[in-house]
Amino acid sequence: MLDINERNPGEESSLSRRMFLKIGGWLVMAAGMLRIPGIALAQGKPDVIAEDVRFPGKDGTVGGYLARPAGQGPFPGVIVIHENRGITDYIQDVTKNLAKEGYVGLSVNLVSRSLGPDYPGGSDEAMKALGQLSDADAMADLDAGVAYLRKQPVVFTNSIGCMGFCMGGRYSLLFAEHRKDLKAAVVFYGRTVNKITPLQTKSPIDLVPEIAAPLLGNYGAADAGIPVDDVRKLEEALKKGNKTFDIKIYPDAKHAFHREGPNYHAEAAKDAWKRSVDWLAKYLKKG
């Protein structure tokens, strides 16, 4: 019987090798389960590189989450406009999925002014801060995001679009109205009509004549917060203004149907994402 403190010849090196392989396996498994800050990992050679970034804004430093293809580029750029809880895991995944489609995605952290550029999304504090954000300040920070994207060597500076969800969907509409140089805009269930307040000085539908970018909209007929009639009004205004657009209303989909959660609608989510990346490819990758 071998004493626990004894070693057969070569056993110590064998144990070391086994332990090394075991630890290595644990680390690989952990990398697959945990979100590693600062970089997106993939099996083998990464196809996407993602990181937290900072850049100058009109009234201070703005934070963001940047994801790009691993290649040299240049690639078109997409400003990703988050929901009313900031840059959550979901928004990071959206940004990385855009990178997998061949875009440099930048989600601008719109709580930077009140909570700091590195403040994470998902909290009640983030939601409260975004509820106090004015349209003018949001547009200024998104402008700063475009300026930052254009400074990236991997970005094709003349081909930048935007994509927004929920609150960010409304901002995507406003941003398309605000900037004439955007090449495409995508809206996921963004409010089209709102009451005029000190924070929201304009209703998106009133600014439709200002839109220059081709606009794609994805909406749910069962959205309790955005009546179908309001979406139809947007369609009518876009048609009257002779704008390039494509709006689809999914019959059984509720608000936030693209994000995993109680309102997730798999069929609508899959179709809306395909429509969106096809739209971006048509207008951002052409020529």
List the CATH number of the domain containing 161: 3.40.50.1820
Residue 3 lies in a domain: no
Asked if residue 202 and residue 104 are part of one domain, the reply reads yes
Asked if residue 258 and residue 128 are part of one domain, the reply reads yes
Most confident of 24-28, 40-44, 212-216: 212-216
Q: Which of 223, 230, 258, 265 is catalytic?
A: 223
Residue 2 lies in a domain: no
> 172: buried, middle or exposed (CB in 10 Å: 19+, 13-18, 0-12)?
buried
Asked if residue 48 and residue 24 are part of one domain, the reply reads no
Asked if residue 117 and residue 12 are part of one domain, the reply reads no
Q: Which of 82, 135, 166, 265 is catalytic?
A: 166
Instruction: Look up 223 and say whether it is catalytic.
Output: yes
Asked if residue 96 and residue 18 are part of one domain, the reply reads no
The pLDDT value recorded for residue 72 is 86
- pLDDT tens profile 11-37: 333 334 333 333 343 333 333 333 333
C-alpha 210/C-alpha 223 separation (Å) is 27
- pLDDT tens profile 107-123: 999 999 999 999 999 99
Asked if residue 49 and residue 24 are part of one domain, the reply reads no
Residue 155 has pLDDT above 90, yes or no: yes
Model confidence band, residue 161 (pLDDT cutoffs 50, 70, 90)? very high
Residue 248 lies in a domain: yes
Q: Which domain holds residue 15?
A: 8-37
Residue 71 has pLDDT above 90, yes or no: no
Asked if residue 87 and residue 145 are part of one domain, the reply reads yes
Asked if residue 182 and residue 54 are part of one domain, the reply reads yes
- Name the strands in the sheet holding 155-165, side by side, starting at the edge strand that comes first in the sequence: 48-57, 60-69, 104-109, 75-81, 155-165, 185-188, 215-220, 245-250
The pLDDT value recorded for residue 286 is 73
**Secondary structure (3-state) at 106:** strand
Instruction: Look up 166 and say whether it is catalytic.
Output: yes
C-alpha 115/C-alpha 121 separation (Å) is 10
Q: Distance from CA of residue 86 to its chain's centroid?
A: 10
Model confidence band, residue 135 (pLDDT cutoffs 50, 70, 90)? very high
Better-predicted residue by pLDDT, 135 or 17: 135
Asked if residue 127 and residue 29 are part of one domain, the reply reads no
C-alpha 9/C-alpha 197 separation (Å) is 80
Residue 249 has a CB neighbour count (10 Å cut-off) of: 18
Better-predicted residue by pLDDT, 181 or 41: 181
Least confident of 14-23, 150-159, 185-194, 238-247: 14-23
Q: Which of 82, 255, 258, 265 is catalytic?
A: 255
Asked if residue 116 and residue 15 are part of one domain, the reply reads no
Share above pLDDT 90 across residues of the chain, in percent, rounded to a whole number: 82
- pLDDT tens profile 166-184: 999 999 999 999 999 999 9
Asked if residue 147 and residue 89 are part of one domain, the reply reads yes
Asked if residue 141 and residue 262 are part of one domain, the reply reads yes
The pLDDT value recorded for residue 215 is 98
The number of folded domains in the chain is: 2
The answer to whether residues 86 and 110 touch, using CB atoms and an 8 Å cutoff, is yes
Residue 1 lies in a domain: no
- Residue 56, CB-side half-sphere exposure with 13 Å CA sphere: 3
Residue 192 lies in a domain: yes
Strands 185-188 and 245-250: unpaired
Closest CA to 213 of 238, 240, 249: 238
